[in-house]
Amino acid sequence: MLHSVTLPVIDGLAVFEFGLLSEVFGLDRSVYSDVPAFDFRVCGLEAGRPVTTQVGAQVIPAHGLEAMEHADVIAVPALAVRSEEEYPVELLDALRRAADRGAILLSACSGAFLLGAAGLLDGRPCTTHWRYAEELQRRYPSARIDPDVLFVDDGNLITSAGTAAGIDASLHLVRRELGSGIANVIARNMVVPPQRDGGQRQYISRPVPEAECDALVDVLAHMNARLAEPHSVASLAQRAHMSTRTFARRFVAETGVTPMQWLTAQRVLQAQLALETTDASIEDIAATCGFGSATLFRHHFTREVGVAPSAYRRSFTRGVREVALVS
């Protein structure tokens, strides 16, 4: 469920993360698309009480903390990291109440420290900006912090890494709850790539990289343009004018995955789009995405995404095709 989003702000607010959350959830796009307008509210300790930011400006919230009581999503922007006792008790209590009633908690960057102070990271997988990861782990030793990911989705808790990763996490949440069509419309109007997501609990290690090596740039483009064709490490190495061993080593060094892992992930992404926006059969999608057989397709898709292709299609096709037409 994603109808209402409340964004709590306190002194030390980071304006970029505040802006990106407001951009994703606060703009009414229903005037030019089928994207529903969210009930978006900015709240503070008191309505109308100015909040300082890290750049010398102020934000004046229109609502008090009561706006958090019924929101579907509480989106916590980045804040100046402070000692645990310096976070307002009334805000920590409001966050705990939101978690207890099942609201989705979304944090951007150092906003994770506020969730940690409320006791909401204990035993949970999460992330924050790599620069703060060690400190977050020191403060909350039971939290399972991964400093190498863009974001972590653990159901009703979504935490993102630094700065622009908050966009990835926010679009992922939109896609998870409302489908890819709506997320794509928002992303396109923000002029950012739509987030590539997986199942209910998703870790995204890195965005698709831009390789520094020109030969690998060519190979990545070649593979991506010909996903349906068979590829081998040997044939790709030949295209890169490298030995097989050197190519495999360079590929992992620059992308973090093996050539076949990268290729499988791209094929799964193409299959996701086909499942969401077409009526093509599982067999046809398997063939056009390069899996060879429906059985192999189901295996790789379920392993990557966490659900079978048919279940994914049921979850994400409702309303997607109509929205995709305006994107």
Rg (CA), the chain: 21
Asked if residue 286 lies in contact with residue 272, where contact means CB atoms within 8 angstroms, the answer is no
Query: Any idea what the Cα angle at residue 97 is, between residues 95 and 102, rounded to 5°?
Result: 95
The DSSP code for 319 is T
Q: Give the active site residue among 43, 109, 126, 289.
A: 109
Contact 275, 317 (CB under 8 A): yes
289 catalytic per annotation: no
Q: Please report the beta strands in the chain, taking only residues with DSSP state E, as ranges in sequence order.
A: 4-8, 39-43, 51-52, 58-59, 73-76, 104-107, 125-126, 144-145, 151-154, 157-160, 201-203
How many other CB atoms sit within 10 Å of the CB of residue 177?
15
CA distance 14 to 111: 9
Q: In 3-state terms, what secondary structure has residue 76?
A: strand
Residue 85: DSSP 8-state: G
Helices assigned H by DSSP within 119-200: 133-139, 165-178, 180-190
CB 14 within 8 A of CB 78: yes
Amino acid, res. 257: V
Give the residue numbers marked as catalytic. 109
